[in-house]
Structure 1
Amino acid sequence: MFRRPLEFLNSLPAHGDLVEIRLGPLRAWVVCHPDLVHQMLRDTRTFDKGGTQYDRLRLLLGDSVVTCPHTEHRRQRRLVQHPFRPSHVADYTELIGVEAQLACRDWRAGQQVDVSAALLTMTTRVISRVLFSDSLDTATVGEVRRCLADVVRGLFLRTLVPADAVFQLPTPANRRYRNAVARLRTIVDGVIAERRRNARGPGAVPRDDVLQTLLDAARDDGDGLPAASEQDVHDQLITLLLTGVETVSLCLSSAFGLLARNPEAERRLHAELDAVLAGRARPAPDDLPRLVHTRSVVTETLRHSPPGWLFTRATTRDTVLAGHRLTKGSMVLYSPYLLHHDAASFADPDRFLPERWLPGQAPPGRQGAMIPFAAGSRKCLGDAFAMTEATVALATLAGHWRLRLPPGPSERQRPAVTLGPRRLVMTCEPRADRTAATPAHGDAPALRADGAFRAPDARTAGGHGADDA
């Protein structure tokens, strides 16, 4: 589990649909069949957020929308779901496209670039504007990116090792983790305090971002939203930063690595971008329905290399699952990576085949086996946003550049709390002579005159919706 976790997980279906494993002194169960996974995810009263993963996450995120118990989830979700409803996310297309252009504006033909770092910076800037408008300057965005990287690396070991004493030792890795958590909290608290000060000053400009929605709820001025405590505001913002940055950047890094190894899939992607964008620098909202192959590349990347690859639940009462009696407090694990790579669910599971997901194709796998965003009432509330961000960013970057893997061995996938390449270096090859101007920071059409991103108004818009740790 520590040395070769992906191979270990893929070996478990041969032992049954529900397999007992040991994590040090703890006994845990791994669910290997998609029907059982959905049975568990639908029954949130019995299989609640818990286990070592969420015990550790609560120390960082508090009882936020990701970590809160079943009884609190509906209230927590209502606090933050509005900007991420599917009917809203197309409004972010311009912002995402501009930030993707900025991510590659300094690339040159033949240059080797750290694609992972560039994409992590891009997704940090996108989510910081959605959450805070223009409240984070470029230097602070970079600091947030570095803090999140240290936190994600440290969380994996804390998920699998139940001994708290190990993480109290003053090792370099433990110090990095504690310092990153403390700095991230300081940055978020500073943004909250600054927004409150500016809201009381003359000429204050109302903001349509997640922070403002939470502050309105904290003042009981949320127009029907549930009341939020001061701790709610802090915890939700930390949670959305952590969950909204690295997962999308890792998906995009994996996509470019997979495309470089699969030239036919890359050729089809480029042909679609040339036809749909017709030389434009980035897609518009109306282009999204026509980027069919581009979206299929993202979907197949999420199947092949899901950033969220391992999750835990804890039983709240004695229960029976797959004929096995689980006592109250049992830890149950499920892995999207395991389900996505089971040959009983997907033919040739290790092959990268975006055409699996094209319209008109037969269902690509066993029903319910594809769960990159979980399922049930605790399904990721940002799934539509993440798909739009990945699709627009992939279209923008691949429209400008073909990225090649340099000769030699590629980076081995080493899972942390998320899965994907963290040091992906690739060589830039321009696809065409682009004449469209690349915007400078702050010049995005999606920004208002005061510099704030015009996000959808959450109160009025409609819709439904262990490497070095």
Structure 2
Amino acid sequence: MLPLDSAPLRPALAPGSWPLVGHLFRFGRDPLRFLGSLPAHGDLVEIRLAVQNVHVLCHPDLARRALADGRTFDRTGPIYDRIRTDMGNGLATCAHTDHRRQRLLMQPAFRRDRLSRYAAVMQEEIAALADRWRPGQVVDVVDAMFALTTSIAVRTLFSSRVDESTAAGLRHCLDVFLRGSYTRVLLPFTTALPTPANRRFTRALAQWRAYVGGVVADGRQRQSGPPDLLSSLLEARDDEQSGMSERELADQIAVLVLAGAETTSAALAWSWHLLGAHPTAEEELLAEAGAVLGGAVATWQDLPRLVHTDRVVREALRLYPPAWALPRTVTRATELAGRTLPAGSTVLFSPYILHRRAGTYPEPDRFRPERWRPDPVSGRCPVPATDFFPFGAGATKCIGESFALTEASLALASLASRWRLRPVPGASVQPAARSVLCPRTLPMRVTGRH
């Protein structure tokens, strides 16, 4: 069946392959520019990264098909083996055979009634950050948002079990891990080298696992305490009424904190950067925050009125999706765009590419939060939900989507209710395409609202 918006899908081979290394140098030097150039050549574009051929999905129809069929397009193969070695076999990294059981065990922890309780923790951490800022202070927004979302992730998981010094240590471990994991996946032959970066990575990973193991053991022994994600995971049961093993718990916690902290902090950092460059959108956000909150911290009940805030977050996620490139392994011969891919082939799903298609998003490279405004007649959003992929799609769609959107809207509106962040003149803001797409650094000056 042909896609609704185009002629038959076209396979293609990316030009500019070098002997031996293929496109590896171009991909490694500037992956976003390289990936962004591929749709001009076709809808399913083959690239070569050294000895590995990768088929990049450049059309939303192909992406939806691959994400809907986890049995054929699975999270297996050498890349995911390396990811699981470091991150563990959690819901965001497990293969198709483990996914249904893990999803069933995790789902209760993300029910709407639980999310409203997590929002109370978010409020406290956001208020603490807003109180620490001072007029005229220059902050690195990347670091500030990462510290905020990591504290929220740790507290919603472990409740009062974590003191500030331990939380700071965990943030350090996560930062080291995230900086090193992309290189380890892209260049696996470097992981055995005794470099300072590899030694830091190994130490951080060991410290993280030791702490998580201790917290899980402590959680099993406690008979009472405030409800948190860990207590939900300890209570979870599958179809056979079996709970999680110690290893499963540790893996799920690692993936939850890693995914939850870095992805939401990246979305917030990009939101501040984009607002700083677009005064009209910024003024609308400030006006909404002032009218709805009046200098207070946003609550769960305020979310329905923070409509422009939500649009800003979604537009930032469209332009700079944190999970910018995700591989899948073909487990059985299949056809895509008229080309047969044998078992063992690698396909790459990139929301960064799909979110910048002119056929889907008018003026795709422009920051336009108003594109998410519902049509006044139909009441529907002009952007189809099926063409928005920051959290993936299908059965493996991120279980924390509502958690992340809630956290981002609460933080953005609450901070904007008290402060405005101005770009530092002359500062260069460049995307760092590591495990998560975020700015390398984002210095901004804090000024008062009045």
Query: TM-score if structure 2 supplies the norm length?
Result: 0.89
Whole-angstrom distance in 1 between the partners of 2:203 and 2:130: 30
Whole-angstrom distance in 2 between the partners of 1:98 and 1:418: 26
SS at match of 1:402: strand
Whole-angstrom distance in 1 between the partners of 2:300 and 2:385: 30
1:48 equivalenced with 2:48 (yes/no): no
Question: Which range moves more in the overlay, 90-99 or 167-176?
Answer: 90-99
Any stretches of 5+ residues in structure 2 without a counterpart?
Answer: 1-26
**Of the candidates 199, 202, 205, which is equivalent to residue 181 of structure 1?**
205
**Of the candidates 322, 329, 337, which is equivalent to residue 314 of structure 1?**
329
Alignment of 1:168-207 (within 5 A): 168-197=192-221, 199=222, 204-207=223-226
Question: Which range moves more in the overlay, 166-175 or 206-215?
Answer: 206-215
Cα displacement (A) at 1:425: 1.3
Identity, % of aligned positions = 46
Q: Deviations over 1:379-420 (max 9, x none)?
A: 000001100000001111111110011110322112101101
Question: Which range moves more in the overlay, 83-92 or 344-353?
Answer: 83-92
> What amino acid maps onto 1:315 in structure 2?
V
Q: Deviations over 1:15-44 (max 9, x none)?
A: 111011011111111010001100111111
In structure 2, the partner of 1:272 is 288
Whole-angstrom distance in 1 between the partners of 2:184 and 2:440: 19
**Bigger relative contact order, structure 1 or 2 (CA pairs below 8 A, ≥6 apart):** 1
Whole-angstrom distance in 1 between the partners of 2:384 and 2:33: 21
> What amino acid maps onto 1:37 in structure 2?
A
Q: Deviations over 1:277-319 (max 9, x none)?
A: 2x24112222111110010000000001111100000011111
Cα gap change, 1:97 to 1:172, in 2 (>3 Å): same
SS at match of 1:308: coil
In structure 2, the partner of 1:430 is 448
Cα displacement (A) at 1:99: 0.8
In structure 1, the partner of 2:423 is 405
**Of the candidates 265, 287, 297, which is equivalent to residue 282 of structure 1?**
297
**Of the candidates 336, 340, 362, which is equivalent to residue 351 of structure 2?**
336
Whole-angstrom distance in 1 between the partners of 2:385 and 2:39: 17
Q: How many residue pairs get matched?
A: 421
Q: Deviations over 1:168-205 (max 9, x none)?
A: 001111112111111111111121223334x2xxxx42
Query: Is the 2:374–2:382 contact (alpha carbons within 8 Å) kept by the matching residues of 1?
Result: no
Cα displacement (A) at 1:360: 2.1
SS at match of 2:29: coil
SS at match of 1:423: coil
Query: Is the 2:122–2:407 contact (alpha carbons within 8 Å) kept by the matching residues of 1?
Result: yes
1:389 equivalenced with 2:375 (yes/no): no
Cα displacement (A) at 1:208: 2.1
1:141 equivalenced with 2:160 (yes/no): no
Whole-angstrom distance in 1 between the partners of 2:157 and 2:227: 9
**Of the candidates 110, 123, 127, which is equivalent to residue 101 of structure 1?**
127
Cα displacement (A) at 1:216: 3.5
SS at match of 1:2: helix
Alignment of 1:88-167 (within 5 A): 88-161=114-187, 164-167=188-191
Cα gap change, 1:288 to 1:185, in 2 (>3 Å): same
In structure 1, the partner of 2:268 is 252
RMSD over aligned Cα atoms: 1.9
Whole-angstrom distance in 2 between the partners of 1:223 and 1:326: 35
Cα displacement (A) at 1:365: 4.7
Alignment of 1:12-51 (within 5 A): 12-51=38-77
Query: Is the 1:52–1:312 contact (alpha carbons within 8 Å) kept by the matching residues of 2?
Result: no
> What amino acid maps onto 1:283 in structure 2?
A
